[in-house]
Amino acid sequence: MSLDQAQAVIAAMIDDFNKAPGRRKIDMAVVDDAGNLLAYARMDRCLRPTFAMRKAYTSAVRGMDTAAFAEQLKTQGRSLESFGDPQLIALAGGVVVMYEGAVVGAIGVGGLPSGLDDEAIAKVGVQALNL
């Protein structure tokens, strides 16, 4: 994923958020396939400004959306600590980006009361890529 693509993803997510601006403020992160940060935006007064980066990182390195990862942990009876990676997070809002069957990056959104609302905005970012 290129820097231009990552910035377009952020712009698309900001536009989507602004359709209902009365919500809690969010942060948004785009990472490459190894979880390295490519682009980041934090709205003024965002309450937890690192969650988006951790969600994007988790999706990239685990190769799945964070909601699916949380479910996997639950069904396997495992905890985050068993992975030994303090950056992993098991909250919805991280979405993996796939191209031709391979992970090319991930998008994370944090800040809304429901991780599923965060995930919906992240999916707008994926759609902006037109892969």
Residue 30: pLDDT above 90? Answer: yes
> Which of 18-22, 62-66, 124-128 has the least mean pLDDT?
18-22
| Interior angle at CA 112, CA 36 and CA 47, nearest 5 | 75
Mean pLDDT, residues 3-25 taken together: 94
Domain boundaries, the chain: 3-128
In the sheet that 102-110 helps form, which strands lie side by side, from edge to edge? 37-42, 27-32, 102-110, 94-99
Report pTM. Answer: 0.93
Q: What is the pLDDT of residue 125?
A: 96
Q: What is the pLDDT of residue 131?
A: 80
Q: What is the pLDDT of residue 122?
A: 97
Fold of 3-128: Beta-Lactamase (3.30.450)
The DSSP letter of residue 59 is H
First to last CA, the chain: 11
Q: How many CB atoms lie within 10 A of CB 49?
A: 17
Residue pLDDT, tens place only, 80-116 = 999 999 999 999 999 999 999 999 999 999 999 888 9
Q: Are 115 and 90 in contact (CB under 8 A)?
A: no
Q: Are 93 and 107 in contact (CB under 8 A)?
A: no
Q: What is the pLDDT of residue 110?
A: 94
